[in-house]
Structures are given as C-alpha cells and as structure tokens.
A and B are shown apart, each in its own frame.
Chain A
Amino acid sequence: MDTLIAALFTGTSRGAIYALVAMGLVLVWRGAGIVNFAQMGQAMFSTYIASTLIMNGYSYWLAFFVAIAAGALLGVFLDLVVMRPLSNKKQTELLSSQSMRSAVPVIASLGILGVLQALAGVIWAAEERGFQAPFAQEGYTIAGRVMPFTSFDLFVVTVVAITLILTVIFFKKTGVGLAMRASALDQEVAKLSGIRTNGVRALSWAISGAASSLAGLLLTPTSNLSPYTLDLALIIGFTAAVVGGLDSLPGSVIGGFILGFVISFVNYYMTPEDIYLAILAVLIFVLVVRPRGILGGKDTRRV
C-alpha cells in the first residue's frame, strides 16, 4: 500500500514535468514542423545560467525567471539563425525529395544539441553540480508515514498546473493563440488571412524554449546538473509527445502523465534499470495499437 501511494505521488510530480517537456516538443512540431532534439540542450543551458546566478549570490527566484527568459530567447535565436535559413526554399532545392528536405532541420537540431552540450562543458566544466531547490526536500508526513512527496514536489505540480492552464487560455481565448493554431493547421490560409506566420513560428520557439527551461529548472534539483543530465528527459518527453499524438497539446500532457506513472511504477515495483525498457515498451505499444497517438490527427503516422 505504501509503495502504491509513493508511486502515485512520484508519478504525479514527474509526469507534470514530462508533460511540460512534451508540450515544448509539440509546440515546435506544430509551429515549425520540426522535431526539436535540441530542446533539452536549450533547457540545460538556461538551467546552467540559473545555477551560475544562484552560486553568485542572487536569489533563486531571480535566477528562475532569468532562466525562463533565457530559454525563450535561445529558442527564438535558434529559429532565426539556424532553422529559418535552413527551411528557406532556395537553399534546399538541391535536396529533391520532400522527406529529405524536412529531415534537414531535424538533423540540424541534433547538431545544435551537440554544440550546446560542448559549449556548456567549455563554459561551466563538464562535472555535475548540485542545484538547490527553493523548498525543503523532506517528504510530507501522512498518518505517521513519510511520503515521497515534498514541498518541492507540490511546487512542481502547482507551477506546471498553472502553466498548462495559462497555455490553454492563451491558445483558446487570445488572438495570438488563434493565429498560432491557424498557422499550425494551414499555413497558406493563415497567410492569406493576414497572419504573419514567421512571427508566429518564432513565438512557438519562444514558448517551447520557456516551457522546457521551466522543465529543466524543476528536474535538476532531484538529479544533478551536467551538460547531459537532461538527455533522458528529452527521450521521455519525446515518447510522451508521440504517445499523446505529437500534434495535440492536450495529448502531450496526457502522454507526459502516462510516462510519469509508468516510470514511477517501474521504479518502485521493478528496478530503476528497467525504465528504459518500459519507455520503449510504452512507445511500441502505442505505435502498434494507435499509431497516431491518443489525441493525434490523421496524418501523424508518417512521422
């Protein structure tokens, strides 16, 4: 019984973070048609910025918001400097097939990941460093038992819930949100309606960058920070996005929580080494049973 409750608690707080990672991936996929493998590299970079600020005596909260802003800026920078020139028609006419052309930015994102990790190694040295949490890391006590749910976990769940609600309101209720949905669904009609699709695209990168930086900030206190610590989160987040349907934001959140619970249960009931196998099993199961994901549209299959 204790193990079950513990698994549920851990699953919730982990799932919340994976939902954020998956949401970031889905945003760029919908907004720019790119699976951004550099996403958690960007998050790692901004988490290092936060960590450096904290080590230099600035408050956690200042570092927290600076890192999120840095994540957004880095996202826009990558779109403007790397991705947009790459998807420019003239430069890619050499590649004849459409699938080859759309692969170029994805490969570039792997390159960016490598560059960011190397750069972080050069700037901050490649050793792991701790990253403080703003709250106590002791579990709450329920009925005399210490639960693996700390005030930091509560903070994680609250922050993610607020972020998700704000995202939903933004997309459903604001003009910019509508412009983003329209451009993701049909570029041509969006353009003819006067929507500046380039700006919308950059905004997708910004929001995705901010969301994944937030995920990075929420993940590192329970592990450590090194240029490679967030790689696993990318794999899990990507799986969550595929499970949810890659082009669906609510789907990505559902996928995130499914992965959170699966990993947490495997961790408690089996051994931690089995989680990679579990992730793969979930991915294969969804791809076999429902290839377009839980809430995915019809043509996600080709991904």
Chain B
Amino acid sequence: MLEVTDLTTSYGSVIALNSVSMKVKESKITTVIGANGAGKSTLLRTISGLEKPSSGSITWNGQSLLHRRPEEIVRVGVAHVPEGHAVISALTVEENILMGSLFRRRTHKRDIALATEELYTLFPRLLERRKQLAGTLSGGERQMLAISRALVSRPSLLLLDEPSLGLAPLVVEQIIDSIKILSEKTGLTVLLVEQNANTALGVADHGVLLSLGKVVADRPAHELKADANLRAAYLGY
C-alpha cells in the first residue's frame, strides 16, 4: 500500500500540495482527478522523488520514499510515467524500452527479454516500429512507449500522469484498457492522474479529488462519478 501523509510541496513561495493525505491500495487502480493546477502532477513528482516535499511522509509497503533520489525510488518498484508522453525522441523505440531496464540488466537478464516481449504483445505497434526513432511516433504510440519504458522494470506501483493528454478518445480508451487488463492480470498497483475525470473514474476503483493542493473528496470511484454536486463545483461539467 502507498501511504501519503500530510504531504506539502512548494515551488518557491507557491504551495502546490497542501497537507495531502491519501492511500493507494495494492492491486487496485486509484485515480487522482482535479482541475488544471490542482497539484496532481506535483503529487506524482513528489512520490517519485523529482520534487522534494517540505513536510509529510510517503511510504510504499511500509518503506519510506522520502530523501531518496528518483533513480533509487525506481529500484524499490515505483515507476513514474511523467506528463507529456515522456520518451527520448532521439533514441529508437527499442532503446527507449531498453533504457528502462538498464538498472536491472545484470541481475534479471532473462526476465527483461520476457518483459520486453510481453510489452510488444500488449502494444504490437511498438514491435512494428522498434527500429524507428521515438520522435517519429504518433502521440498514442509515444504514450505506449513511455508506459512500456516504465513497465519493463516490472514495477509494483505505476504512477501514470495524464496519459490521455492530446490523444484521440479511441487511443485513450485503448491505453486505459491495457492498463486495466495489466492491473487485473499482474496485480499491478496504479495511481492514475487525469484531467479527464470521466474516463479515469470509469476505470478506477477509487478516486481522490484534488483542488488547489488539497484533498476535497476521497471515495470509491463509482460514488465520485455519481456525485453531480462535486462535479459541478470542481470539474465544471
């Protein structure tokens, strides 16, 4: 279980996360929704070690993630796919995936080959394009690649930031479905950040609503989805 307690993160004098507490249950999909600037991305960036919180605690299965560098946090099984289809454009598809496995290539050589194969089965279009530069891919393919780069290390927790950003609804559905199937099949825990609340709540087990850096609702996803008042007040539809 991921436990975030009283987490506060600031950029200079701007407080992005204000004493946020939440839990992510194992093998479940939890989504964090909220308007632009609610602190969703900051939450993920603080968990993965990219931002340093000013106070609070983060534990993953009882192990504290505070004061660790991002490259060490990956090693305890927490993989982060940041916003904006984060792949390295000047590397090939194959190299991008390989990059995510480098840190365990000495100890898990065979498993990496297996994991790579599984990813190509999950996203066959990446297999077709594996020798191409990532910069030549479509938005959806780049997002698939970014997710593959994270999954090849066989994380137990996947932090997924706005996978739907700038993608056609059909592609979004395909990507979200893959994540759902993966979570059900392998017991992967997912923390999904989305601005597209409908899609996210449709697939998630649990939902957390953030507004201006604070948690305003923390409930089962279907309840959150049904609450018209909350939707009107915080999501504007």
Contacts and interface: CB of A to CB of B under 8 A. Distances in A.
Contact of A195 (B50, B89, B102): B102
A31 to B, nearest CB: 15
A38 B21 CA distance: 49
Interface residues of A, number: 18
Given A182-B91, A188-B50, A195 B99 contact: yes
Contacts of A175: 98, 102, 105
B88 A182 contact: yes
A178 B71 contact: no
A190 B69 contact: no
Given A182-B99, A188-B82, A194 B90 contact: no
A179 B102 contact: yes
Contacts of B65: none
B103 interface: yes
A66 to B, nearest CB: 30
Interface stretch (B73-81, B120-128, B186-194, B202-210): B73-81
A194 B87 contact: no
A194 B100 contact: yes
Interface in A192-219: 192-197
A129 interface: no
B88 A196 contact: no
B82 A178 contact: no
B99 A178 contact: yes
B86 interface: yes
Given A175-B105, A179-B99, A179-B102, A192 B74 contact: yes
Contact of A178 (B80, B87, B102, B153): B102
B90 to A, nearest CB: 5
Contacts of A193: 71, 74, 99-100, 102-103, 149, 153
A197 B90 CA distance: 18
Contacts of B164: none
A189 B95 CA distance: 13
B88 A185 contact: yes
Given A175-B102, A181-B91, A191 B86 contact: no
B220 interface: no
B80 A194 contact: no
Interface of B: 48, 50, 69-71, 74-75, 79-80, 82, 86-91, 95, 98-100, 102-105, 149-150, 153
7 contacts: A178-B99, A182-B91, A182-B99, A189-B86, A190-B88, A193-B149, A193-B153
